[in-house]
Structure 1
Amino acid sequence: MFLFISGAEIFIILVIVVMLFGADKLPELARGLGKGMQQLKNATNEVKKEISDGAKKQGIDTDLTKDIQKDIKNIKNKVQDNIDDLTGPIKRNF
């Protein structure tokens, strides 16, 4: 489900867009939207690279978040295993 919009609602939105802009303008609009999204993605990646490079120059550990994510994943797996052990005999097959 994309943003809580159903298929019928997407269809109605597409019909309204075609009525407003016309079928001949849609490829042009889509192309412009695609270029804008690509520019936004490039700018975001550039900012991330600048932040990462600046952190490395200052001697800040950039792998800290990766280590934290790995620890959280390990703890989550342990908790899930414990829950599975606890609820194993209780589970019902439907």
Structure 2
Amino acid sequence: MSMSSLIFGFGFPGMPEMLIVLFLALLLFGGAKLPSLMRNLGRSANEFKAGMSESTDDEDSDGSPDEKA
């Protein structure tokens, strides 16, 4: 089995499907609102990645549980 057939159980979405999703987003949010929506989505994704790497760094830096007396 290829990786593309495993995604979503139907295969990876192609160009026609992506265009349909883009068209629906334009209908729902409008052309003026869409750029700010995508910008906020990108910022959220970057903050999530930074938070995940930060939590991984915190776990790896010490290596042992904190012992406070």
1:12 aligns with 2:20: yes
Q: Which residue of 2 aligns with 1:33?
A: 41
Which residue identity is paired with 1:9? E
Q: Which residue of 2 aligns with 1:75?
A: none
Q: How many residues align?
A: 55
Identify which of 33, 45, 52 aligns with 2:53: 45
Structural RMSD (CA): 1.2
Q: Aligned partners of 1:27 and 1:14: how far apart in 2?
A: 12
For structure 2, the residue ranges without an aligned partner over 5 or more in a row are 65-69
Which structure is richer in relative contact order (CA contacts within 8 A, separation 6 or more)? 2
Instruction: Give the structure-2-normalised TM-score.
Output: 0.73
Which residue identity is paired with 1:50? D
Summarize deviations over 1:26-66 as a string: whole Å, max 9, x none: 111011101101110110010110010121xx3xxxxxxxx
Moved over 3 A (4+): none
Q: Which residue of 2 aligns with 1:54?
A: 62
Identify which of 18, 22, 26 aligns with 2:30: 22
